[in-house]
Amino acid sequence: MKRHIIVFLSCLTVFTAGLRGNEATAAFEKNYESLTYRLYNEQKWDSLLVTGEEAIAKGYDYYYMRVRTGVAAFELFKFVKASKHFEKALEFNAEDAFASELLYKSYLYSGRNEEARLFLHQLPEFISSSFTGKTAGPVIFVETGPVFSNHNEQFEKNRQQGDGLYSEAYPNLNAFYFLSGIIIPVKGRISLNASAALPNFNKRRIVDIAGLDSLSGDYKVKQTELYFSPSVVLGHHIKISPVVRWVNVSLDNPLSSDDPEIQQYIGPPGSYTYQDYAIGGEVSFLQKKWMASVGYYSVKLDNTDLNQANFSFFYRPLGNLNLYLQSVMGLRMTDSENDLYFSQMAGGKLAGKLWAEATFVTGNISGTGENNFQVFYNLFDETKSKYALRFIYTINDHLKLNLRGQWFFKQGTELYFSEPDKGEVYTYNYQTISLTGGFSWNF
């Protein structure tokens, strides 16, 4: 009998301990629930993020806990972390408009535009139509401005002196640039990027023929550039972006002479045109905080054929666009030489709605393109380095203004014959500065 009483008391103790354990667990869960709810209402985002992630790590993982923790991360501009919590929240409640909108914006604000567009396309209409500030429609952009150069002054300072027989040079004067384009999302996985540019370059042709004549004349090089690049996202991590860029170049010979012998030297008067082009594309691997891309292009630059290969790495160390970096290593290949070049960009939020990007490029980029050939450097003079600074001001979710300054260090050339069969190309340095501004509108 005594043994039965001992067994009964032992079972009762275990049962009571179990009840107390369950009560303690419920109390802990209740404490986390009430605490995170209070922190959410008081908008104490730092404490809420720490407490919410602590609760989730201990197994208190449900819709409201994920949403509150996601909102805390969102308000602290930790958009990659916020997206993880909202993704999990939607596993508990797939048709919740609140979590869906914040997940969409977390993708956008962390620079993951492809994921944002794909997510929005997959949502039911009754959810996506409720979003405020939705910007998944077409984007139009315009940029324009002048270009200044000290090329002519540097040529005059460094031109060959002496009793040469023949000298010829083509200094760049000032120029003007205009670009307009549109990015159209076709479906969740497909987008089209098309643009047209109208750069106009003022140049000077200088020809000295010993004993005959010295001629100089200004002329314009007019370009019409068309760009087209479709992009398709495969799965969640691969983006393929083929591209073609076509350029029609038109120019005049500004020199003429009544002397047939001189006219033979300087060529026939009149205008002529030729076409440059680039065709190729890039493949990108997308991750939450970074993107790696590999590109290859075939380029025709007047009578010169070249190829370009590049690798770029884009990184958002904070999981948002408050700080981002892009490094590019490229190879410019011709029949006679291969040139390596390197580019480093750092961008981020300066204050309020103002962002800035600073870029440095070293190496010969003449005849190459950047950003999947959205920019084409189809001038002949060698570019030795470039510095750039860009400011971006966000008016609202739709309108952004930008101002860009670029400083190019280039190498000019002079063809000089000191004797009839002894011609050489002499080089000298000059600089070019461009100042452009514009806007983008996201429908």
Q: In the chain, which stretches have pLDDT less than 50?
A: 1-28
Residue keyed to tokens 């429609």: 137
Q: Where are the beta strands (DSSP E) in 22-164?
A: 139-149
Render pLDDT for 168-217 as a digit per residue (tens, 0 to 9). Answer: 999 999 999 999 999 998 877 899 999 999 999 999 999 999 878 889 99
Q: Give the separation between CA 337 and CA 306, rounded to whole angstroms.
A: 10
Q: Give the separation between CA 161 and CA 425, rounded to whole angstroms.
A: 14
Tell me which DSSP letter residue 297 carries: E
Closest CA to 160 of 204, 206, 202, 216: 206
Q: What structural domains and CATH numbers belong to the chain?
A: 2-128 (1.25.40.10), 139-442 (2.40.160.60)
Q: Outline where 354-438 has alpha helix (H).
A: none
Q: Give the separation between CA 224 and CA 212, rounded to whole angstroms.
A: 37
What amino acid is encoded at 190 in this protein? I
Q: Give the separation between CA 442 and CA 135, rounded to whole angstroms.
A: 6
Residue keyed to tokens 């709810």: 37
Render pLDDT for 84-138 as a digit per residue (tens, 0 to 9). Answer: 999 999 999 988 899 999 998 888 888 888 888 888 877 887 787 778 765 567 9
Containing 8, the helix (H) or strand (E) segment is helix 2-42
Q: What is the pLDDT of residue 285?
A: 95
Contact 366, 383 (CB under 8 A): yes
